[in-house]
A and B are shown apart, each in its own frame.
Chain A
Amino acid sequence: MFFLLAKTTPQYRHPMPDFIAHNITKEYPTPAEPLKILAGVDVELARGESLAVVGPSGSGKSTFLQIAGTLDQPTSGSLTLLDQDLTGLSPQQLAKFRNQHLGFIFQDHHLLPQLSALENVLIPTIAQGPATTDAIDRAKDLLNKVGLSDRTSHRPAQLSGGERQRVAVARALINQPVLVLADEPTGSLDQTTAKQIGDLLLQLQSEQNTILIGVTHSMDLAMTFQKQVRLDNGKFVSVDLDSTASAS
């Protein structure tokens, strides 16, 4: 499954891409000179593909993920998902687009403590109106798939860290998104649980035929993704698997 490309730009091209990030840059103004976080990131991915982004803290991994998830605006560059240019959409349209086509998994699961596991999974469905029976069935199915069929009515406080993150995974998939973005999905979990969650994530991604972009410090997790890149000086560079393997 793994294949590497040379350190060229764009690093990843696909004959029929569903997600295209083209020459994405992100700068922040400072009193001295603008701080450049992303310096022209290019990536193309098709349904069923997964990409792990690694890099040291402050390299811009999360910034890229937030731009890819339309939670932040790039300074320049374009973003296309399912042939839809996302850079020109209004906040209202973006909210709707995110709801229909994107799923998020955060390091902090951000479950709503007042709701049950099932209700937390349903949250994205009620952004557009009351939850339908279909949505509820789908949520139950997802909770079943993440192994929490017996925990549907539990509140987050009654779940373990791993279980909460499973709920977050199910929540990310409830609207059958094209693109799932995971920001350190296993960052706050112990090693065993982290592996379980990583496996589950990829399994579901494969089953649902979605694109998965994950940001992680964990090379173990990154290795389970189809593709890996490192953010270095604001650009994607290929990961040296050998050195990585030896390092790990």
Chain B
Amino acid sequence: MNLWQIATRSLRHYWSTNLAIALGVAAATAVLTGALIVGESMRSSLRELTLQRLGKIDEMLVSDGFFRVALADEISQLKTFQQHYDQVEPAILFPGGTVANEQHKTTRYSGQVSVLGITDQFWQFEQNTTDKFDRETKFAGNVAIINQALADDLRITAAEVADATATITVRVPKQTQLPADSALGRKTDLIESLVDLRVIKILPNEGLARFGLFPSQADPLNVFVPIGLLQDSLARTVLKHKSTTDQANVLLLSSSTSSPPSEAVTETLSKSIRPTLADVGLQLKQVSQPATDAPVFAYTSLSSDKLVLPFDVDRSVRKAFPDAKAVFTYLANDIRVADKESGIPFSMLAGIDFDSANDPATSHQFRPVSAVTGKPIRNPADDQIVLNQWAAENLDLTIGDRVTVAFFEPETTHRSQTERTVEFEIADIAAVTTPDSPFGYNRRDGVIPPAYSKPPTAANDPDLTPVVPGVTDAESIEAWDLPFQTADKIRPEDDDYWEYFRTTPKAFINLATSKKLFRSRFGNTTSWRIPLAAGDSSAIAQKLQAQFIEADAELGLQLVPIKRRGLAASSGSTPFDVLFLALSMFVIGSALILVSLLFRLSIQQRAAEVGLLKASGFSPKRLRNLWLAEMSLVSLLGALAGIALGVGYAALMIKGLTTWWVGAIARPFLTMHVSWVSLLIGLVSGLLACVLTIAISLRRTNQQPVTQLLRGELEAATAATQRSSGSGRWIVWLMVACAIGLAAFATQLAGEPQAGAFMGAGFLLLSAGLTFVYRWLSSDGDQSAVNLSLSRMALLSAKRNPLRSTLTIGLVAVASFLIAAVSAFRLTPNEAGTAGFDWIGTSSQPVFENLQTPSGQSAALGKDHLLPATASVFSFRYKPGEDASCNNLYQSTQPRALGLPADFLARQLQSESKFAWAGSLSETENPWEPLDGQTVHAGTAEDPIPVVIDKNTANYSLKIFALGTVKEVHYDSGESFHFKAVGFLSNTILQGSLLMSQQDFLTAFPEVAGYQYFLIDDGETPNDTTESATVKTLEDRLSDLGFDARSAPKLLANFMTVQNTYLSTFQTLGALGLLLGTFGLAAVQIRSVLERKRQLGLLRAVGFELPQLSRLVMLENAWLLLIGLAVGIGAALLTTVPHWLTGAASVPWLELIVIFISITLVGLTAGWLASRSIAKVPLLESLRD
């Protein structure tokens, strides 16, 4: 015989007691396992959504421009592709489209729609091969497929689709070659419309119908059109100058295995992709002026489709071709004599360094000759300019005279160009030769060079100006397609110049000055003159491509591991298992206290056995081992039952999250996933927690004297010690004093620290209350029998075992305290969350005008549709990205960003309505100060961009927990930078975005043009109706841009619903814990009746009626329950009252009253049931034992 055999026998013999303990263990294990399963289900469901959303698509090659569809074929021939991938398909993707549906003379608009131009093969990426698309019918023509989410938004029904009466207009951004925010960039007519597309199918919101770049559990709005349709439409604009219109801006790749390719494979493939220079928007041109035996100049020009070359290209050129010369040519609005009002309009002004050496091998150099001296011209100083002969003669100027050059600032704000003037001294006059004939032009060959009878000069170079479609290829200067009026300023001689010289610069300054004046966030070079020695165009292209790869240059073409990232983000913004463990804490705590109570009862019942074993020489350790062996078996059985119950508990939680608490997860997408790992972890942790609880209970038991144990007494006569100890009283008062101090301190705090401090004060009060109760139960109190009544007898019974009674009271008190106190954390939308803004507007396409000013409104909305004078509209620059707010369960790696305009910051300073802060690193009183844009940051680790984030977004989605944290972000569009959290907002409508200064925004996202995010204060008295004149005008007039406004208070309430739903979950689970506690209370009472059957038998013998004894037991139960509730609710009230008084908390009184009345009723009913057990106990017989 050994310990385990005794343990097994005991397990069987005391099966009823052990069953009760096992049930407690089962409850604790069930809750633990359930929480783990909920967490796992959340992760797996998010993962499933990701896999559904992307189908077999593992990676995407995305571009900010267009490239040849043939690149897909080239990629498919690569060795890495053939080893690891199996399909690559081109597509055109516009994530920010607008779709309109006109029905019964009403037009409905949906903004932020993803427009996908796809091939027939796109649907082969679908994971499940259920036929989404009729493969027999070729997807072509004026047709579209939409997903159910878009159909619902546009109110298009399946019946209309079947009748072929559903038509939509899809609006996508018209791709412009020049950034819209650049001076020459186009700012109107930016929308390309695909009208009257017949909707041929509505796809359910599953699989690739949910395709999207950013992970979110919310259903995206998607429209699919044939790729050819988009290509044809774009052929008139952005694809016009491409060698072929068979272009795409996205390639979709799938791997040959079921899992996404590894990082190394992606890297290898990315490095082996060889886009042509044209694919990345670059062009090479052989330039020469072969008018004489030896060319005046000859070089290969590298320029960009977008006028200026990206900085990364400059770096690569400098590395690959150290001898290449940079040119920065800009448009001068006017070159005039310093004191005149006008001069030569619209001239090209080239920034280029003049070379002095005269080496024929360096024919790419710039060596103009003076028309005055006949000698090479030296490089002009920073305040000097060199005019060409034509300009000098036209203005009648010579060396030493001064000229004023007017030009637009390189970047525009709200579409308004700002003209600047700079004065120069004429350093020299560059000779130019007028050709014998004008330049020719035809559609097929474009510009045809003129003929010279006299040798042209180095300044006779129209290719110093990069190609600007609509300008450099225009037939006449009047035909220039520029965002400002030119015609009224053009003189006849300017037309002549255009005919004979076209884009030949009329003036030159040195490169450094040109960069200083015209540099923008887009770049500071317009072309490079690469020497002929570098080889022909294909050699140069090859060398450049190699250099781009070596330098990892950002050319706007990125291979994005979209599935790998999506799966990584599926770990979720919130660790749901941890969250639910926290939420279920009280149920677990209650179960463990119950286990402890039941175990103590069991050991009490067997106290004599313990005494006997001790007397027989069992050492404390061996005795503990014997008990632990038995209790481990009990716990194991309980835990095994617990994991089964846990699956049920998780199912209930998931049911809750998809129905009553759906506010916490936004959409009922959650399905149950159970793995062996979760069950095993649940089993082991439940087992350990319970065995540990038992071990702690056992430790106390082991300290009892054998003689006492042999008499069957477990509890030592501790009351006497308590009575004699005065320190307990001091502890109570100390805790009360600390609680008052903490509460007073809390009034000086705000937000969560305040709530935390109040909670801390509450806990101290609770502890003080429980300590007081314990001391009171341990005290003799009034020994006189004068007041002896049934109720008093019940109370004295409760005092019989002070520790057990206090534990039971504590169980009820802690749960009721938390249920009540957690209300303090409930959020209600308030002004500090909206800062007085009534609406949040977003647009699919950028708005360039300043909607704050009447002139801007007039330009954007029409002069007859100005906004009410009381309205204020603040426009923010907007970088689309993942929604990092609490509405998105995926972890965010590339959050959307907002550039804060100066007028918004000014309003925050001046207005009484300010956003609430949870903390700021600002050293001044203005928390926005780090974002004032006074300093522009590089976005490097050393010089990170300061950002303000909502605290919840920072903590949960971005995992930033402290101000000052520096983090790096990479966007799929290629941008990456470091940012530093300099401020946390507290529960505001700006949740989910990185907020940065406008200046830093432009550094981080140079390609983002215009404004797409708006905060609107309509100046009217807020009301619940959606009819706001401001919003109605904006939505009507900007419908083509997909303008959509949402109520700011409603959005805030929606954000807060998430937190409030968690609190409701928390309270519900707390109530469950409390219920468990009341059942525990009843169980303790039943045990207590059995334990005291002799005492009760005596009472019966001396004439007490059975109902009286039942009442006695019920009263004892009621005492414990009511004292527990009183202590818990009392402490909670003291905690929440200051919050309630200051209006910071909206205590749901009714809900709480209902909860507590229900708990009291259930508790009393359980007590009543326990008291009925008296009738079944042979009390009188027990006296004869």
Chain A residues in contact with chain B, CB under 8 A?
A: 66, 69, 71-72, 91-92, 95-100, 102, 104, 106, 108, 110, 112-115, 119, 122-124, 126-131, 136, 171, 175
With A66-B707, A108-B608, A115-B6 given, is the CB distance from A123 to B616 under 8 Å? yes
Q: Is B325 an interface residue (CB 8 A)?
A: no
The reply to whether A126 and B612 contact each other, CB–CB distance below 8 Å, is no
Known: A108-B608, A114-B9. A127 touches B619 (CB 8 A): yes
B619 touches A114 (CB 8 A): no
List chain A residues, Cβ under 8 A from B608. Answer: 108, 110
A98 close to B616 (CB less than 8 A): yes
CB-CB under 8 A for A112 and B706, given A91-B620, A127-B622: no
The distance in angstroms between the C-alpha atoms of A104 and B608, with both chains bound, is 14
A68 to nearest B CB, angstroms? 12
> Which B residues are in CB contact (< 8 Å) with A96?
617, 619
Q: Are B617 and A72 in contact (CB under 8 A)?
A: no
Residues of A within 8 A of B612 (CB): 106, 110, 112, 123
Contact assessment for A113 and B13 in the assembled complex, using a CB-CB cutoff below 8 Å: yes
In the complex, what distance in Å separates the CA atom of A21 from the CA atom of B619? 24
- Contacts A112-B10, A128-B622 aside, 8 further interface pairs with beta carbons under 8 A come to A71-B707, A96-B619, A106-B710, A114-B6, A115-B6, A115-B9, A119-B1, A126-B2
- State in angstroms the CA–CA spacing of A129 and B618 once bound together: 10
Within 8 A of A (CB), among B1-39: 1-3, 5-6, 9-10, 12-14
Identify the closest chain A residue to B617 (Cβ).
Answer: A99
Residue of A nearest to B4 (CB): A130
Q: Which residues of A contact B14 (CB under 8 A)?
A: 114
Give Cα A96–Cα B617 distance, bound, in whole angstroms: 6
Q: Choose from A72, A98, A127, A171 the contact partner of B707 (Cβ within 8 Å).
A: A72
User: What is the CB-to-nearest-CB distance from B638 to chain A, in angstroms, rounded to a whole number?
Assistant: 19
17 interchain pairs, CB-CB under 8 A: A66-B707, A71-B614, A72-B705, A91-B620, A96-B619, A97-B617, A98-B616, A100-B617, A106-B710, A108-B608, A110-B611, A114-B13, A114-B14, A119-B1, A123-B616, A127-B618, A130-B2
Residues on A with C-beta less than 8 A from B706 are 66, 71-72
B269 on interface, CB distance cutoff 8 Å: no
Complex: A144 Cα to B14 Cα, angstroms: 29
Q: A91-B620, A95-B619, A110-B710 are in contact. Are A127 and B6 (CB under 8 A)?
A: no
Residues of A within 8 A of B3 (CB): 126, 130
A104 to B709: give the CA distance in the assembly, Å. Answer: 15
Q: Which of B1, B9, B620 contacts A95 (CB 8 A)?
A: B620
Question: 9 closest A-B pairs (Cβ-Cβ)?
Answer: A99-B617, A114-B13, A130-B2, A110-B612, A114-B9, A124-B616, A127-B617, A98-B617, A95-B619
| B941 sits at the interface (CB 8 A) | no
Alpha-carbon gap, A127 to B612, bound state (A): 11
Q: How many residues of B contact A (CB 8 A)?
A: 27
Interface assignment of B1175: CB less than 8 Å from any CB of chain A: no
Q: Which residues of B contact A97 (CB under 8 A)?
A: 617
Q: Give every chain A residue within 8 A of B622 (Cβ-Cβ).
A: 127-128
Instruction: Give the distance in Å from the alpha carbon of A71 to the alpha carbon of B138 in the complex.
Output: 96
Tell whether B637 is near chain A: CB-to-CB under 8 Å. Answer: no
Given A66-B707, A106-B710, A110-B608, answer yes or no on A95-B618 (Cβ-Cβ < 8 Å).
Answer: yes
Query: Using Cβ atoms and an 8 Å threshold, which residues of chain A touch B620?
Result: 91-92, 95
Contacts of A114 in B (CB 8 A): 6, 9-10, 12-14
Closest to A114 in B: B13
B82 to chain A, nearest CB (A): 68
How far apart are the CA atoms of A123 and B2 in the complex, in Å? 9
CB A98 to nearest CB in B, in angstroms, measures 4
Say yes or no for B355: interface residue by CB 8 A criterion. Answer: no
**Mask: chain B, 686-708; 1 = CB below 8 Å from A; 0 = not:** 00000000000000000001110
Q: Is B613 an interface residue (CB 8 A)?
A: yes
Would A92 and B619 be within 8 Å (CB), given that A72-B705, A110-B611, A110-B710 are in contact? yes
Q: In angstroms, how far is the closest chain B Cβ from the Cβ of A154?
A: 14
Q: Which residues of chain B are within 8 angstroms of A123 by Cβ–Cβ distance?
A: 612-613, 616
Contacts of A71 in B (CB 8 A): 614-615, 705-707, 710
Say yes or no for B609: interface residue by CB 8 A criterion: yes
Across-interface contacts of A115 in B (CB, < 8 A): 6, 9
* A5 and B616 alpha carbons, distance in the complex (Å): 33
Question: A99 to chain B: which residues have CB within 8 Å?
Answer: 616-618
- Cα(A77)–Cα(B5), bound, Å: 41
A113: B residues at CB distance < 8 A? 13
1/0 per residue, CB under 8 A from A, across B605-637: the answer is 000110111111111101000000000000000
Closest to B630 in A: A114
Measured in the bound complex, the distance between the Cα atoms of B706 and A185 in whole Å is 18
CA–CA, A129 and B5, complex, Å: 12
Please indicate which of the listed interface residues A69, A91, A92, A114 has the most CB atoms of chain B within 10 Å of its own CB: A114
Q: Give min CB distance, A214 to chain B, whole Å.
A: 16
CA distance A122 to B615 in the complex (A): 14
- Chain B residue at smallest Cβ distance from A71: B706
Q: Shortest CB–CB separation between residue B614 and chain A, in angstroms? A: 7
Scoring A96, A110, A130 by chain B CB atoms within 10 A of each residue's CB, the highest score goes to A110
How close is A184's CB to chain B, nearest CB, in angstroms? 12
Q: Chain A residue with minimal CB distance to B606?
A: A112
Most chain B CB within 10 A, of A69, A99, A136, A171, is at: A99
Residues in B neighbouring A66, C-beta threshold 8 A: 706-707
B337 to chain A, nearest CB (A): 111
A-chain residues with CB within 8 Å of residue B705 when the two chains form the complex: 71-72
Which one of A115, A122, A127 has the highest number of Cβ atoms from chain B below 10 Å of its Cβ? A127
Minimum distance in angstroms from A91 CB to a CB of chain B: 7
Chain A positions within 8 Å of B10 at CB level = 112, 114
Given A71-B706, A71-B707, A112-B609: A131 and B2 within 8 A (CB)? yes
Q: A108-B608, A110-B710, A114-B9 are in contact. Are A130 and B616 (CB under 8 A)?
A: no
Closest to B611 in A: A110
* B14 nearest in chain A by CB position: A114
Of all chain A residues, the one with the shortest Cβ separation from B7 is: A114
Question: Known contacts A71-B706, A92-B619; is A127 also within 8 Å of B13 by CB?
Answer: no
**Chain B residues whose CB sits within 8 angstroms of the CB of A131 once the complex forms:** 1-2
Question: Complex: how many Å from CA A110 to CA B619?
Answer: 18
Min CB distance A131 to B, Å, is 4
In the complex, A97 Cα to B705 Cα: how many Å? 17
How distant is the Cα of A136 from the Cα of B5 in the complex, in angstroms? 15
Q: How far is the CB of A95 from chain B (nearest CB, A)?
A: 4
**How far, in whole Å, are A157 and B1182 apart by their CA atoms in the complex?**
17
What's the nearest-Cβ distance from chain A to residue B379, in Å?
98
In the complex, chain A residues whose CB is within 8 Å of the CB of B6:
112, 114-115, 119, 126
A81–B1176 Cα distance when bound, in Å, is 51
Residues of A within 8 A of B617 (CB): 95-100, 102, 124, 127-128, 175
Known A-B contacts A95-B620, A115-B9; A127 and B613 likewise in contact (beta carbons under 8 Å): yes
* Chain A neighbourhood of B1, CB < 8 A: 119, 122, 126, 130-131, 136
Docked Cα-Cα span, A119 to B3, in Å, equals 11
Chain B residue with Cβ nearest A73: B705
| Chain B residue with Cβ nearest A120 | B612
CA distance A69 to B6 in the complex (A): 25
Chain B residues positioned under 8 Å from A104 (CB to CB): 615-616
Closest beta carbon of chain B to A93's beta carbon, Å: 9
A113 and B6 alpha carbons, distance in the complex (Å): 11
Whether the Cβ atoms of B613 and A98 lie closer than 8 Å is: no
| Residues in A whose Cβ lies below 8 Å from that of B5 | 119
Report chain B residues within 8 Å CB of A92. 619-620
Task: Tell me the complex Cα distance, A136–B619, Å.
Answer: 21
Smallest CB gap from A63: residue in B: B707
Who on chain A is nearest to B2 by CB?
A130
Bound CA–CA A154/B721 (angstroms): 44
Within the complex, what minimum Cβ distance (angstroms) separates B344 from chain A?
A: 108
Chain A CB count within 10 A is highest, among B9, B14, B616, for: B616
- Nearest A-chain residue to B616, judged by Cβ: A124
CA distance A171 to B615 in the complex (A): 12
Cα distance A123–B499 when bound, in Å? 118
A66 to B707, CA, bound (A): 8
